[in-house]
Structure 1
Amino acid sequence: MALAGAGAGVGAFLRSTAPIGRDVSRNQIAQRILSDRGSPQFGPAEADLVVAVFSDYQCPACRFAEPALLEAIASDARVRIIYRDWPVFGARSEQAARVALAAHYQGKYEAVHHLLMVEPSHLGDGVVREIAERAGADWARLEQDMSAHESAISAAINQSGWDAFSLSLPGTPGYLIGPLLVVGAQTLSGFRGAFGKARDITRGEDG
């Protein structure tokens, strides 16, 4: 897809030159994404901030930002994360996304996701299987789930693409941080600043 170049380059550029995010609190699609309960997600049910992450396992900017995002979430303790697989870097990215989503049926999405994000190799079939098994997934069951739930997995990937386009995301990574849409990779301080800004927007709405 044409977005592959955007995912690699736009994130690094915007990380240092753009203000943090834009307010999409009145966007109905953004509101629907934040209330999604079907996608893989982790964090406290009583979280006061939801972060939806649009990413690709072969996206360099996504990989760069992942540790900072996880550290920001861990140190905050009031954030729930929703993973939206948006494979814009081609067939290998889509296959990796399908494996991760199939792993969700056995409760292994998060472990598979994190290992895929740090794996330095090209994500060929053998590599993806090795990562899934290293993450604790039963590969035979994963293959069965990938086949049995093929339509649901395809629908999830397609929905992420439509939602990303509807939010005018130019590529990966993209972060819907509550009412704040952030484009491109961020540092730890960038994510923390975005969390604070998102909460400020929400408090303004509630007030």
Structure 2
Amino acid sequence: MIRFAAPALTAMALLAAPAQALDLSNMNEDERSAFRAEIRSYLLENPEVIIEAIDILEQQRAEAEAQADYALVAHNADELFNDGYSWVGGNPDGDITLVEFMDYRCGYCRKAVPEVAKVLKEDGNIRLIIKEYPILGEASVLSARFAVATLKVAGNDAYKQVHDALLEYSGEVNEVSLRRISEGLGLETDKIFETMPSAEVTEDLTRTAQLAQRMNISGTPTFVLDDELLRGYLPAEQMLIMVDDKRDKG
């Protein structure tokens, strides 16, 4: 014959009773203690339930964050995709837009270069927008000013050359090294350097920083793929799968 302690019987009765009987505010102290003891005993005997609950909570949190990110992209779509000053490459008429917030001194931004290039080459119908977001110190800001000034002075092709050169450059960034890069590319170096401290360049960088702050972007690289915010480095294969999925849904 199986015998149960009184507290356990009380808790079992509560669990078997209608839902309103489980209102802790209506329990006396003995009932409440018995109920809590049964819960504790169950969790100790079945710890996988705690792990399952944590997994569900993390999934719900991730889904909530993803929905919040979708809303951020939708709310800031015009500034993301049509700001009028950021460099546009890839296929300018592509049906999918990939925006990259990047910093020239960011190791993962450098790691992402061949991945982004592979995505653009293999797909052929993706519009790429580069957002200069220098967050890693003075060298980052100087590099970004140099790139933005080049875009304003010499246009898209020159910007792309400077952009690639800065991502490949591993030395100290200063006026001497930037002049060397500019002169090596045959650009109007003096004019670019005159433009770097201009209010126009400052405004572009400020607008991008404000956009990043509104979108809770605190690291680079951060991508916006059409309607989705992607925080961090992604391999080309994963991005290409996401592109195909977006087209299928569209």
Tell me which interval the TM-score lies in, with the shorter structure as reference length: 0.7 to 0.9
- The equivalent residue for 2:124 is 77
What SS is found at the alignment partner of 2:98? strand
**CA positional deviation for 1:151:** 1.0
- Residues 79 and 211 in structure 2, CA contact (< 8 A), matched pair in contact too: no
The total of aligned residue pairs comes to: 182
- The equivalent residue for 1:54 is 101
1:111 equivalenced with 2:161 (yes/no): yes
- The equivalent residue for 1:93 is 140
- Residues 51 and 176 in structure 1, CA contact (< 8 A), matched pair in contact too: yes
Which structure: larger Rg?
2
Give the % identical residues: 23
Aligned-pair Cα RMSD in Å: 2.2
What SS is found at the alignment partner of 1:175? strand
**CA positional deviation for 1:125:** 2.5
- Aligned equivalents of 1:134, 1:194: Cα separation in 2: 38
- CA distance change for structure 1 residues 190 and 91 in 2, over 3 Å: closer, same or farther? same
**CA positional deviation for 1:81:** 1.1
1:163 equivalenced with 2:211 (yes/no): yes
Q: Which amino acid aligns with 1:72?
A: V
- Residues 108 and 220 in structure 2, CA contact (< 8 A), matched pair in contact too: yes
Gaps of 5+ in 1: 1-17
Q: Which amino acid aligns with 2:107?
A: P
Q: 1:124 aligns with which of 174, 188, 192?
A: 174
**Runs ≥4 in structure 1, deviation > 3 angstroms?**
21-26, 197-201
- Residues 70 and 229 in structure 2, CA contact (< 8 A), matched pair in contact too: no
Gaps of 5+ in 2: 1-61
- Aligned equivalents of 2:114, 2:245: Cα separation in 1: 20
1:41 equivalenced with 2:88 (yes/no): yes
- The equivalent residue for 2:77 is 30
- Aligned equivalents of 2:243, 2:184: Cα separation in 1: 32
Higher helix share: 2
- Aligned equivalents of 1:25, 1:197: Cα separation in 2: 16
- The equivalent residue for 1:9 is none
- Aligned equivalents of 2:185, 2:231: Cα separation in 1: 29
- Residues 94 and 126 in structure 2, CA contact (< 8 A), matched pair in contact too: yes
- CA distance change for structure 1 residues 187 and 134 in 2, over 3 Å: closer, same or farther? farther
TM-score by length of 1: 0.79
